[in-house]
C-alpha cells in the first residue's frame, strides 16, 4: 500500500465510511457516485434524508481527490467529470437543502 493509498483510506475512515466504500477507495467512490447519478436520472425514489446522504458522497469525493496520487486520479478523472455533468444536467439550482446554518458551517457554496 502506498502513502497515498494510506492517506485516502485514513480520510475515508475518519469520515466514517465502511464496507465497500472504504475498501473500494477512490475508484469505489467514483463507482458509487455514478450509481447515485443514475438513480437521480431515473427519478430518485428515496427520502430527502437519503438523498442528502447520497449526494454528501460527492463532497467526500471532492475532499479525498487531492489526497490520491495523480496515477490514481488519472484513469478516474473522465468518469468523475462525466458523472458530474450528468448530475448537473438533471438537477437544478436551489437553496441549500441542509439549511443555511449547516451550509455556512461547512463552507458549502452552490458550486461546491
pLDDT in tens, 66-75: 999 999 999 9
Contact present, 3 and 59 (Cβ < 8 Å): no
pLDDT above 60: residue 1: no
Q: 3-state DSSP call for residue 59?
A: helix
Contact present, 108 and 63 (Cβ < 8 Å): no
pLDDT in tens, 21-32: 888 999 999 999
Please choose, from the candidates 84, 6, 101, the residue with its C-alpha nearest in 3D space to the C-alpha of residue 76.
Answer: 84
Angle, vertex CA 11, rays to CA 5 and CA 12, nearest 5? 90
- Residues recorded for the chain: 112
Angle at which helices 48-64 and 70-90 pack, to 10 degrees? 150
Compute CA 110 distance to the chain's CA centroid, rounded to the nearest angstrom.
Answer: 15
Mean pLDDT of 41-46: 96
Amino acid at each position: 500500500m502506498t502513502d497515498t493509498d494510506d492517506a485516502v483510506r485514513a480520510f475515508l475512515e475518519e469520515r466514517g465510511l465502511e464496507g465497500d466504500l472504504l475498501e473500494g477507495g477512490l475508484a469505489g467512490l467514483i463507482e458509487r457516485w455514478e450509481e447515485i447519478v443514475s438513480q437521480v436520472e431515473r427519478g430518485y425514489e428515496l427520502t430527502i434524508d437519503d438523498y442528502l446522504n447520497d449526494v454528501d458522497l460527492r463532497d467526500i469525493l471532492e475532499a479525498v481527490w487531492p489526497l490520491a496520487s495523480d496515477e490514481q486520479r488519472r484513469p478516474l478523472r473522465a468518469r468523475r467529470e462525466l458523472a458530474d455533468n450528468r448530475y448537473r444536467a438533471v438537477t437544478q439550482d436551489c437553496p441549500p437543502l441542509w439549511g443555511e446554518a449547516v451550509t455556512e458551517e461547512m463552507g458549502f457554496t452552490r458550486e461546491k
